[in-house]
Structure 1
Amino acid sequence: MEKSDPRYQAYIQILKEELIPAMGCTEPIALAYAGAVAKKTLGEQPDKVKVEASGSIIKNVKSVIVPNTGHLKGINAAVTAGIVAGNPDKQLEVIAQVSPEQIQQMKQFMEDVPIEIEHLAGGCTFDIIVTVYHGEDYAKVRIANYHTNIVLVEKNGKVLRSEAVSDDSEDGLTDRTLLDMEHIWDFATTVDISDVKELLDQQISCNVAIAEEGLKNDYGANIGKVLLDMDGDDVRVRAKAMAAAGSDARMNGCEMPVVINSGSGNQGITTSVPVIVYAKELGVSDEMRYRALTLSNLTTIHVKTPIGRLSAYCGAVGAGAGAGAGIAYLCGGGLKEVEHTVVNALAIVSGIVCDGAKASCAAKIAAAVDAGILGYNMYIRGQQFRGGDGIVSKGVENTLQNVGRLGKDGMKETNEEIIKIMIEA
């Protein structure tokens, strides 16, 4: 792809928008970010807090440990962390630097300050409103549609910032409809490496580090360790294990950053770490590793875009297909092998539901990466799922449209039922 092609710069910008560092699960961190901005706007320590959140936010915050809080969980902990210790200028690294004294202050704040939580039914799938009060004064912040998209800042009835909001619109981001597998392949195999190197170096450094941390220490259900105990000599197992271990750590309070993909650290880990493991095993050049990661990341974004940021469709599924695409390239596959890998992978694991961020995400990641690897190995052995097999249609783009429809529209009621189950638990 020539640099003069409009897609070239668009693809660079899409990567810059999606491959950003975040510390902790991104939905709790978005809440912390809203809390930090609200506190700064108020200019006082709040004596009352109200959090309004869509069901999908509640689902993804309920069970995950918020980093730098002394292993606190849930909405109260997330918003409190932002109010007490957050640096709003850091966005998704808003609570990356917290002192032991501030952790104690968080616990005291949660004891002393009433925090009201309200479920926002209807409207945007991704919706957070944090209102903080001090006496008669208040400040309100709303984040909608994606994690750093502040659409409202208000203080004492005066609107300081206001952006129009339509359900699940991402108007502030580069047009994702420019993505398709043929052009993603063209871009990944021809891009000037210097245009993506800094982004990918950060992804490699952060995501491998947290995967190694997950293997070293005790996090969650230790899915990564379990997999290595089963057969650590097999690169296919190591690829799954390393990705799972990163999630083990991240879902269970590890205070290390992750470079995310499509708004999710788990998806960032899933789409990158298995590709890095295979690149090391195969001894490929740095250039080939960068190209494989470019391919895997853009494929994951392409799969995820029509589904939306939050859904009952597990985000690791698309990221596992993206990892499969990168691995297929590393193993010598061309566009045809990559496309069939993606279709096969999605046909295998598209039934995995998202029931919030928590320890079992690591096991789902392992299954999704396994499907990506299996999808490639099927095709090179003359096997594939064909159009008419369930949600598979002839042509990769048609299948991706089906997956998007399933994840966004078909699973709406599933998402609502999952949220009801989790709220009642």
Structure 2
Amino acid sequence: MRDFTVKEILKHQVAPALGCTEPVAIALGAAAAASLLEGGPIDALNVWVDGNIFKNGFSVAIPAGEGLSGIDTSSALGAVGGDPALGLEVLGSIDDEAVKAALAFLKAGKVTIEIMEERGLYIRTQVVSGEDTAESVIKGLHDHIVSLSRNGVEVTDSPLLCEPVGEGGTSRNDEMEAWLKSLSLAEIIDLTDAFDAEDMAFLEEGINVNVRLAEHGLKHGGGLGIGKALDRLVRQKILNKDMLVAAKMLTAAASDARMGGAKLPAMSSAGSGNHGLTAILPIWAVKDFIECDHDTVLKAVGLSHMVTAYVKAHTGRLSAVCGCSVAAGAGATSGIVYMMGGDVHHTAGAITNLIEDLAGVICDGAKAGCALKLNTAAGSAVQSALFALQGVNVQETDGIIGGSPEKTIANMGTLSTQGMIETDRTILKIMLAKKIVE
């Protein structure tokens, strides 16, 4: 197992995404398969997804037109007008004509969706055009196209395919996650010393991308309008805009915009745009309340991304546990402690406090209500950091808390990957039953 550089971590874990990453990944798979047919008319589109992809693509808005949502819609949009070369910004190429064509395709009943028992992120898309059939498979990560074929023949020379597997048949993601899981919290914090000027510029770009989403949400609302409501409560002097409220407002507003279908990208973290909002925006809000130089803020955001990736390596990319809460929330609280001058012991306490607070938050799919959970995660990230800096730390005798932050995170991973399997199935059953009733 080799070591990875911070530049590799950022490149692999942090990327811009236009729209919720699950429907976007579905659109990417459809666009990639359709590209192999060289523009021929599409007669049928068949999609197989794992339960968590289905859950997160079930009802969230798609940033391609007002009122658009659903896995069938995102796959149709990707097939008729998506540009797979854009990766997780595949829907950036969608225009009004593509929307009309996709809706007509759906109305004709040419799209089928099936849920697979596959564990882990999985999307298989089959596009049929006359006597030709093209397929794509995305596995492990939202933009990792691991297989392309045309008429049953593997396509091996496409630039759309992800990097080849590493030693022992493992993917780069598997190798990176195994390496991340081998690190201590102190070693992760030490990685912040390795950021160079290029890394810092990339981190700043991510901040700017997510702040634009927050500003859109504060100005226009969208989704549930949580951020705008908090802003209104502050203006009415019902709430005071302290660092806790500022963090909640900024983060929720960005989620409102994103879950409401705003055609603006988010800088994702560990494969999720909402993770990226939670990992970045609470830190950006808190910096206005403390004395801190700009480089330290950027490094705090970089640390947040790395801790988010570290927790996700344990919990899995998609599960019944809300990753915005326990993974990106852990990242954000770590960054806040770093920015406020805390050491590794304060960081450990903050992560432990946050996991004790939010471990029970479930993921019941991507939707407008996610803004409420991001609001909670942002508030807990600030609160957990402040408590730890004041010497208030949850003890290892409590519940799933371990004797170290590493053990606590490993316990969280066990809960997510083993203990919540039936919970995940139950959530999906409830959502499917609701769909049938509606």
TM superposition score category, shorter chain reference: over 0.9
Q: Which residue of 2 aligns with 1:172?
A: 172
Q: Which residue of 2 aligns with 1:266?
A: 274
The residue matched to 1:33 in structure 2 has which SS? Answer: helix
Equivalent position to 2:204, from 201, 215, 222: 201
After TM superposition, the structure 1 stretch with the greater mean CA deviation from structure 2, 53-62 or 175-184, is 175-184
The residue matched to 2:93 in structure 1 has which SS? Answer: coil
Q: Taking structure 1 as reference, are residues 208 and 283 closer, same or farther at Cα in structure 2, changes over 3 Å only? A: farther
Q: Which residue of 2 aligns with 1:38?
A: 33
Q: Which residue of 2 aligns with 1:396?
A: 405
Q: Are the counterparts in 2 of residues 139 and 154 from structure 1 also a CA contact under 8 Å?
A: yes
In the TM superposition, residue 195 of structure 1 has moved relative to its aligned partner by: 4.1
Q: Are the counterparts in 1 of residues 279 and 331 from structure 2 also a CA contact under 8 Å?
A: yes
The residue matched to 2:336 in structure 1 has which SS? Answer: helix
In the TM superposition, residue 287 of structure 1 has moved relative to its aligned partner by: 0.9
Counterpart residue type for residue 132 of structure 1: V
CA distance in 2, matches of 1:321, 1:380: 15
Q: Which residue of 2 aligns with 1:223?
A: 226
Counterpart residue type for residue 185 of structure 1: I
Equivalent position to 1:76, from 62, 72, 75: 72
Q: Which residue of 2 aligns with 1:3?
A: none
In the TM superposition, residue 329 of structure 1 has moved relative to its aligned partner by: 1.6
Q: Does 1:183 align with 2:160?
A: no
In the TM superposition, residue 363 of structure 1 has moved relative to its aligned partner by: 0.7
Q: Which residue of 2 aligns with 1:153?
A: 148
Deviation string, structure 1 residues 178-203 (Cα, Å, up to 9, x no partner)? 33311111122x22441411320220
In the TM superposition, residue 283 of structure 1 has moved relative to its aligned partner by: 4.6
Q: Does 1:64 align with 2:73?
A: no
Root-mean-square deviation (CA), in Å?
1.9
After TM superposition, the structure 1 stretch with the greater mean CA deviation from structure 2, 283-292 or 245-254, is 283-292
Deviation string, structure 1 residues 371-425 (Cα, Å, up to 9, x no partner)? 2222122223332111120000111111111011111111111111111111111
Aligned residue runs from structure 1 range 232-311, under 5 A? 232-311=240-319
Equivalent position to 2:45, from 44, 49, 54: 49
Q: Are the counterparts in 2 of residues 145 and 170 from structure 1 also a CA contact under 8 Å?
A: no
Q: Does 1:100 align with 2:96?
A: yes
The residue matched to 2:314 in structure 1 has which SS? Answer: coil
Q: Are the counterparts in 1 of residues 227 and 256 from structure 2 also a CA contact under 8 Å?
A: yes
Q: Are the counterparts in 1 of residues 16 and 88 from structure 2 also a CA contact under 8 Å?
A: yes
After TM superposition, the structure 1 stretch with the greater mean CA deviation from structure 2, 292-301 or 171-180, is 171-180
Q: Does 1:126 align with 2:121?
A: yes
Counterpart residue type for residue 345 of structure 2: K
Counterpart residue type for residue 159 of structure 1: E
Q: Does 1:343 align with 2:355?
A: no
CA distance in 2, matches of 1:31, 1:66: 11
Paired residues, what number?
414
Q: TM-score, normalised by structure 2?
A: 0.90
In the TM superposition, residue 66 of structure 1 has moved relative to its aligned partner by: 0.8
CA distance in 2, matches of 1:170, 1:19: 21
The residue matched to 2:155 in structure 1 has which SS? Answer: strand
In the TM superposition, residue 256 of structure 1 has moved relative to its aligned partner by: 0.1
In the TM superposition, residue 113 of structure 1 has moved relative to its aligned partner by: 4.9
| Aligned structure 1 segments of 4 or more residues deviating by more than 6 angstroms | 162-165
Q: Identity percentage over the alignment? A: 34
Q: Taking structure 1 as reference, are residues 331 and 142 closer, same or farther at Cα in structure 2, changes over 3 Å only? A: same
Q: Which residue of 1 aligns with 2:394?
A: 385
In the TM superposition, residue 136 of structure 1 has moved relative to its aligned partner by: 2.0
Q: Which residue of 1 aligns with 2:338?
A: 329
Counterpart residue type for residue 194 of structure 1: A
Counterpart residue type for residue 378 of structure 2: V
Q: Which residue of 1 aligns with 2:6?
A: 11
CA distance in 1, matches of 2:102, 2:195: 46
Q: TM-score, normalised by structure 1?
A: 0.93
Q: Taking structure 1 as reference, are residues 371 and 206 closer, same or farther at Cα in structure 2, changes over 3 Å only? A: same
Q: Are the counterparts in 1 of residues 6 and 194 from structure 2 also a CA contact under 8 Å?
A: no
Unpaired runs of at least 5, structure 1: 1-5
Q: Are the counterparts in 1 of residues 221 and 253 from structure 2 also a CA contact under 8 Å?
A: no
CA distance in 1, matches of 2:336, 2:290: 10
Q: Taking structure 1 as reference, are residues 241 and 13 closer, same or farther at Cα in structure 2, changes over 3 Å only? A: same
Aligned residue runs from structure 1 range 397-412, under 5 A? 397-412=406-421
Q: Which residue of 1 aligns with 2:20?
A: 25
Counterpart residue type for residue 249 of structure 2: A
Counterpart residue type for residue 333 of structure 2: G
Counterpart residue type for residue 422 of structure 1: M
After TM superposition, the structure 1 stretch with the greater mean CA deviation from structure 2, 59-68 or 133-142, is 133-142
Counterpart residue type for residue 398 of structure 2: D
Counterpart residue type for residue 58 of structure 1: F
CA distance in 2, matches of 1:233, 1:118: 47
After TM superposition, the structure 1 stretch with the greater mean CA deviation from structure 2, 348-357 or 375-384, is 375-384
In the TM superposition, residue 300 of structure 1 has moved relative to its aligned partner by: 1.1
Q: Are the counterparts in 2 of residues 146 and 170 from structure 1 also a CA contact under 8 Å?
A: no
Q: Are the counterparts in 2 of residues 50 and 132 from structure 1 also a CA contact under 8 Å?
A: yes
Unpaired runs of at least 5, structure 2: none
